[in-house]
């Protein structure tokens, strides 16, 4: 048994006008896709540059904190050493100094 080609199963070529329209639409979509890809590439490059800049800033801040921490640690150790000294007149000196400062400020504000 042979099949007849008249039953609608044969190959029907796409009309040339429809083919050109599809090709034009594909080219337009391809151009749009290229523009989007270019925008994404530019954005990713900008993000990478910003990440490098922020990383540099954070490393600088980290270094500053390390230096400050070292300075603070040495200051605290000096204060502790001074507190453990044989005479404890530092608190009396501090108290007298603060009274003197407040007295000078009172005089300046009263006679102003």
pLDDT tens-digit profile of 54-65? 999 999 999 988
102 inside domain? no
Q: Retrieve residue 5's tokens.
A: 């080609």
Query: What's the domain count of the chain?
Result: 1
Q: Retrieve residue 30's tokens.
A: 């391809």
The percentage of the chain sitting over the pLDDT mark of 70, rounded to a whole number, equals 81
- DSSP state, 13? P
Q: Retrieve residue 7's tokens.
A: 């039953």
Domain that holds residue 30: 16-86
Average of per-residue pLDDT across 100-110: 93
111 inside domain? no
Distance CA 103, CA 97 (A): 10
93 inside domain? no
Determine the pLDDT at residue 51. Answer: 96
Distance CA 107, CA 112 (A): 8
> pTM of the entire structure?
0.47
Q: Which of 6-15, 59-68, 83-92 is most confident?
A: 59-68
Determine the pLDDT at residue 7. Answer: 55
Whether 40 has a pLDDT exceeding 90, the answer reads yes
């Amino acid at each position: 048994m042979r099949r007849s080609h008249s039953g609608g199963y044969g190959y029907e070529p796409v009309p040339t006008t429809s083919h050109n329209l599809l090709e034009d639409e594909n080219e337009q979509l391809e151009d749009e896709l290229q523009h989007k890809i270019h925008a994404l590439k530019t954005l990713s490059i900008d993000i990478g540059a910003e990440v490098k800049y922020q990383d540099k800033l954070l490393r600088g801040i980290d270094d500053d904190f390390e230096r400050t921490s070292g300075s603070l640690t040495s200051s605290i150790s000096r204060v502790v050493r001074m507190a453990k000294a044989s005479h404890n007149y530092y608190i009396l000196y501090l108290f007298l100094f603060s009274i003197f400062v407040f007295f000078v400020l009172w005089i300046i504000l009263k006679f102003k």
